[in-house]
Amino acid sequence: MLQIRNLTITHRKDLRIILEKFNMALNDGDKAVIIGEEGNGKSTLMKWIYNPELAENYSECEGERVTSKEVLGYLPQELPEADKAKTLYEYFSEAQFFYDKEPKELSEMAMKFQVPSDFFYSDQKMGSLSGGEKVKAQLMRLLMDNPTVLLLDEPSNDIDISTLELLERLINDWKHIVLFISHDETLIENTANVIIHIEQIMRKTKSRYTVVRDNYSNYIERRAENFERQAQQAQSDQRKKKIRDEKYARIYNSVEHAQAVITRQDPATAKNLKDKMHTVKAMGKRFEKEDENMTQMPEQEEAIFFKLGDESARMPAGKTVIEYELDELRTPDGEKVLSKDIFLRVRGPEKICIVGTNGVGKTTLLKRMAEELLSRKDIKAQYMPQNYEELLDLDVMPVEFLDDTGDRAIRTRIRTYLGSLKYTADEMDHSIRELSGGQKAKVLLLKMSLSDANVLILDEPTRNFSPLSGPVIRKMIASFPGAVISISHDRKYIEEVCTKTYTLTEKGLT
């Protein structure tokens, strides 16, 4: 059993309560997903469960963590810096039971994770692996130590569709406890049987959480139904209250007026009116108490909303956005050929998605195309890389990154936009380094929104957005009037946004 009792997490810098009096108990067979908007403390909770010291630098945590005899295995959201310089062999050799594994066991694991049989002994640096290969390596090392609880922070980031399906099987077949964070709605729908929803409501001044033993689709449907019922009941109560209060006001004013005009020569009537006013006031106090229990309009954390591009970004249907040819696609160091005879033509406002197995070179190809498109004068392109730090200055605040003029009016407008993206005033004054992955993604998307771009180049655009914000992001990109060239493994994104999908293989794009 994994149990958390009365956990409260407070952000050290702005003293905001991220999670308050959180309780949870998981048993073998539970596949629990933590969902919530960006910056709501999901990763902080996961770190604290694995090792409270990991969350101490930026948060104060009070609560009880009961792990019994469970062995915890933790997959962090990002590969630690210290591990990036290690070779694959050095990385795997640090697993407690690596040398206890028979060659046959390692070969079977390599086959299961679709990596070469000598993957564990390679002298390739961990930091040079593709995003998906890093996740595979971390998962394999984690499984070598025979954990009974899998704590997975964004395991679905950067992995290809076949590996996503493998991850689904791993979670569903796991006989013990799985607690994971994911933004992949399809993965959540196909695996989770416990939903843990962390929210920040009332303009992020109050924390709320929900733990439900149900699948994700049912949870979202019932949550919407409950909010609708509560809203209807609240509106009905408000209407009844208005009618009651108007009637009460007429009675009160009538008695008050009668008291004001009564003469001293009629003491009996004055006493009756005084008694009547006492009764009316008692009625008013009773109404006030009833109002305390009146159904309130439901408080919920709204999904983000803003628009990408206006009519000025509309791309003419006949315009050739790019006609890209490449004889050979090599790794950034030039040592290995990844693909040959690549050709891609994009016309008008097409929404293109490139898919393919991990390590095939999708990000390398997109970077090459981005360099060409960003240098063009006949179009206006914006690029969102897979690694946000390639473009973001981590030591400045979001407002400073989005505006270098210092103009007060412009900065006020940017703060308004950030507020619509659910940034608090305190978060706007945090350095970008302190923001979550989703909050960093919002900064880049807002930069695109503020620009006059008519071509967007997006590497995994939905990877850091919550399942609740995901539908908004997909709709926003789908309705962008310009062209979009993207990489994604998000099955809902591919289905709902993309007009054409290309697979990158060793033989080119198909």
- pLDDT by residue (tens digit) across 39-54? 788 999 999 999 999 9
pLDDT value of position 75: 95
pLDDT in tens, 145-201: 999 999 999 998 878 888 889 999 999 999 999 999 998 999 999 999 999 999 887
* Residue (of 167, 180, 145) closest to 70 by Cα position: 145
User: Is residue 283 domain-shared with residue 370, that is, in the same domain?
Assistant: no
Residues 183 and 218 reside in one and the same domain: yes
Output the domain CATH number for residue 336. Answer: 3.40.50.300
What is residue 227's predicted lDDT score, i.e. its pLDDT? 67
Cβ burial of 194 (10 Å; 0-12, 13-18, 19+) is buried
Contacts of residue 348, Cβ cutoff 8 Å, sequence gap at least 6: 315, 316, 317, 318, 319, 321, 483
User: What 3-state class would DSSP assign to 379?
Assistant: coil
Alpha-carbon distances of 152 from 42, 74, 308, rounded to whole Å: 11, 6, 32
In a domain, 298, yes or no: no
pLDDT in tens, 372-403: 999 999 999 999 998 888 889 999 999 999 88
Same domain, 387 and 269: no
The continuous run of DSSP H or E covering 384 comes out as strand 381-384
Find, among 377, 370, 313, 338, the residue nearest to 486 by Cα. Answer: 370
Confidence at residue 388, expressed as pLDDT on a 0 to 100 scale: 87
Q: How far is CA 221 from the centre of its chain?
A: 19
To the nearest 10°, report the CA torsion of 88, 91, 95, 100. 40
Domain closes at, from 207, 223, 239: 223
Kindly report the CA angle at 359 between 356 and 362, in degrees rounded to 5?
Answer: 50
Could you tell me if 378 and 359 are in contact, meaning their C-beta atoms sit under 8 angstroms apart? no
Answer yes or no: do 234 and 340 share one domain.
Answer: no
CB count in 10 Å sphere of residue 52: 14
Does residue 460 fall inside a structural domain?
Answer: yes
The pLDDT, as a whole number, for residue 157 is 80
CA-CA-CA-CA torsion sign (118, 121, 123, 126) = positive
Supply the angle between the helices 267-292 and 216-261 in degrees, to the nearest 10.
170
Q: What is the mean pLDDT of the chain?
A: 88
State whether 491 and 360 are in the same domain: yes
| Percent of the chain scoring above 90 in pLDDT | 52
Q: Please name the residue that has the structure tokens 């843990």.
A: 196
Contacts of 216 (CB under 8 A, 6+ apart): 33, 35, 185, 188, 189, 192, 195, 467
- Mean pLDDT for 498-510 is 95
Domain that holds residue 141: 2-223
Q: H helices of 15-62, where?
A: 42-50
- Do 356 and 483 sit in the same domain of this protein? yes
Cα–Cα distance measured from residue 220 to residue 213, given in angstroms and rounded to the nearest whole number? 12
Residues 218 and 232 in one domain: no
Report yes or no: 472 and 306 within 8 Å, Cβ to Cβ.
no
Q: Identify the pLDDT of residue 300.
A: 58
Q: Are residues 285 and 177 part of one domain?
A: no
Tokens representing 333 are 């160091």
pTM: 0.75
How confident is the model over 257-273, as pLDDT tens digits? 888 887 666 788 888 88
Number of domains comprising the chain? 3
Contact assessment for residue 179 and residue 17, using Cβ atoms and an 8 Å cutoff = no
| pLDDT surpasses 60 at 213 | yes
Closest CA to 335 of 111, 124, 140: 124
In angstroms, the CA 385 to CA 486 distance is 10
Is 138 within the bounds of a domain? yes
Say whether both 323 and 466 belong to one domain.
Answer: yes
- Helices 408-420 and 437-450, interaxial angle, to 10°? 130
Considering 129-133, 299-303, 428-432, the range whose residues carry the highest mean pLDDT is: 428-432
* 48 and 114 inside one domain: yes
218 and 231 co-located in one domain: no
- CB of 248 within 8 A of CB of 230? no
CB 474 within 8 A of CB 353: no
Tens-digit pLDDT profile for residues 92-119: 999 999 999 999 999 999 999 989 989 9
pLDDT, position 304: 53
pLDDT above 80 for 13: no
Q: Where are the alpha helices (DSSP H) in 17-160?
A: 42-50, 81-84, 88-93, 103-112, 131-144
**Same domain, residue pair 215 and 262:** no
Q: DSSP per residue over 425-488, as a string?
A: HHHHTS-GGGS-HHHHHHHHHHHHHHTT-SEEEEESTTTTS-TTTHHHHHHHHHT-SSEEEEE-
Query: CB–CB of 71/145 below 8 Å?
Result: yes
